[in-house]
Structures are given as C-alpha cells and as structure tokens.
Amino acid sequence: MSSRRDSATVVETTPVGEARYGLMGLPDVGLVGPITVGHIIRFLRMEECCHVESDLLPPVVVVHEGLPKSPVRVFRKDDLLAVTSEIPIHPQAIPAIARALMEWLESKRIQLLVSVSGFAVQNRLEIEKPLVYAVGSEEPLKEIISGAGLELFEEGFIVGTHAYMLGESKSRRLRNILLLSQSHLNYPDPEAAVSAIQALDGLLGIKIDTTELEEESEQIRLMTRELMKRTAQTMRQMGKGQELELPAMYR
C-alpha cells in the first residue's frame, strides 16, 4: 500500500470533466517540453485547474501574482489538458509523479496523450530547422505519426520521465505519442520548441502561432538558464547520456 511519503496526487482546484487530449511538457533535454507547452498555455489562454502534490517533490512553491503555487501544474482549455513543471523531476520522484498523472488523465478519458521533449544532437548548431521524430506506445499509432508527416523514431534509448510514461501508457493501453525535437542538450532551445509546435498541429490539429516564440527566443534562452542548469544536473543523475549511445548490433 502506498503512503503519501512515496506517492503523488493530482489535486483539482477547479472540477475537471472529460477531455480529449493531454499534453505533457516537463523539464528535460533543451527544455523543449516546458517551452512548447508554456507557449501553448499562453497562446490559448489556458486556465490553471490542478496541481500535483507529493512528498517526493522538493519543498518548493512558486509565487505568481502574490500566490504560492505548486511547481507542477495542469492547465485546461476546452478539450485540451496541459501539464507543465517549473522544476525538474528528480529520478526518484518520476515513477510516482508519472503514475499519478497517467491515472488522472486516464480518469478524464483522454484519447491521446502527446508528450513533448528534445532529443540531443551533436551538430545542433548546423541545423537550421530541427526535425521532429515521434514514437508511440502502441503499433496503430505509427499510422497517426506518419499521417502527421512525422519521422518515426525507430531505434535508440529514451531515458527519464518520458521513458516511464511510455511504459506506463503501454500497460494502461493509454495512447501516448512522444515527440522528440532535435535540440541542444544543456541549452534551452526555443527553435526546437517551434518545430514541436508545428508537429502538434499535424497531430492534434491545433493551430498555434509561433511568431511571438520566435521573436522572444533569445530572451527565453536567458530567462530559463537556471531551470536548464538544474535540469542538466537531474539529467546526469538519471543517466540521460545513454540516449546518445549507439544501439546494440544484436537484439
């Protein structure tokens, strides 16, 4: 039996009914997830509806407009639920946080969860427009991925929160697509987020103007340095470097 000490709960601050799509943007490679989801939340003027509580999270509150808030929060607009975090999720907290979010999203009967992340590439400086790859939790999602004009991520390692979520989605039979935008590893990468947003248009049919994100990309890189620094340390702790390893010859 799990206790509060080793579990997490999604607390609804305003009642949330069923929704069609879930969007996940947690701090990871190049902060692609939080930058993407943060822009969508602002553009669609999504409203905060829930937050995550867990003793596994560090004792941190974020003060916005004079009010303390949990750093891991959920926003809603119409049929879309978006999860984002202002702190990196420590490796030990990943299973509980991921499980709580998946359970909650499942209870909202979402039809598709799209997680957004970056995938570090060594030659990022030479890439004008980052490509977006995708991997789904089950076979039929391959068709949706190719239908959206996205490249399938065929072979390789995925480490961290999204790895856990893909596994959890598979066992719950909750349809989950992970978007991996080519990105810097340890620098915030708003250009990779622009590519991810364009990929989301193909997948979910949501039109998001990226002009503001492109115009403010340099300010975003400056404003997210501290989060990137903390996230980089967390990624090292979880062995994120394995994503850069070549796949084994045999299987």
**Contacting residues toward other proteins, per CB under 8 A:** 125, 184, 186-188, 217-219, 221-223, 225-226, 228-230, 233
- In the complex, minimum distance from the CB of residue 131 to other proteins, in angstroms, rounded to a whole number: 16
Q: Which is nearer to other proteins, 151 or 216 (CB)?
A: 216
Q: Which is nearer to other proteins, 111 or 219 (CB)?
A: 219
- In the complex, minimum distance from the CB of residue 97 to other proteins, in angstroms, rounded to a whole number: 21
- In the complex, minimum distance from the CB of residue 221 to other proteins, in angstroms, rounded to a whole number: 4
Q: Which is nearer to other proteins, 155 or 226 (CB)?
A: 226
Q: Which is nearer to other proteins, 22 or 118 (CB)?
A: 118
How far, in Å, CA of 104 to CA of 113, rounded? 12
- H runs (alpha helix) in the chain: 32-44, 94-107, 141-147, 161-172, 190-204, 211-215, 217-223, 225-237
- Nearest Cα neighbor of 169 from 185, 156, 158, 181 is 158
- In the complex, minimum distance from the CB of residue 43 to other proteins, in angstroms, rounded to a whole number: 22
| Residue 201 exposed, middle or buried by CB count within 10 Å (0-12, 13-18, 19+) | middle
- In the complex, minimum distance from the CB of residue 250 to other proteins, in angstroms, rounded to a whole number: 28
- In the complex, minimum distance from the CB of residue 184 to other proteins, in angstroms, rounded to a whole number: 8
What pairs with residue 117 in β-bridges?
Answer: 180
Residue 95 exposure: Cα atoms within 13 Å on the Cβ side: 4
- In the complex, minimum distance from the CB of residue 186 to other proteins, in angstroms, rounded to a whole number: 6
Tokens for 189, please give them.
């990468």
186: left (phi over 0), alpha (psi -120 to 50) or beta: alpha
Q: Which is nearer to other proteins, 109 or 229 (CB)?
A: 229
E strand intervals along 43-188: 47-54, 62-64, 67-69, 72-77, 80-85, 112-120, 132-136, 151-152, 176-183
How far, in Å, CA of 134 to CA of 116, rounded? 9
Q: Which is nearer to other proteins, 139 or 226 (CB)?
A: 226
Q: Which is nearer to other proteins, 154 or 218 (CB)?
A: 218
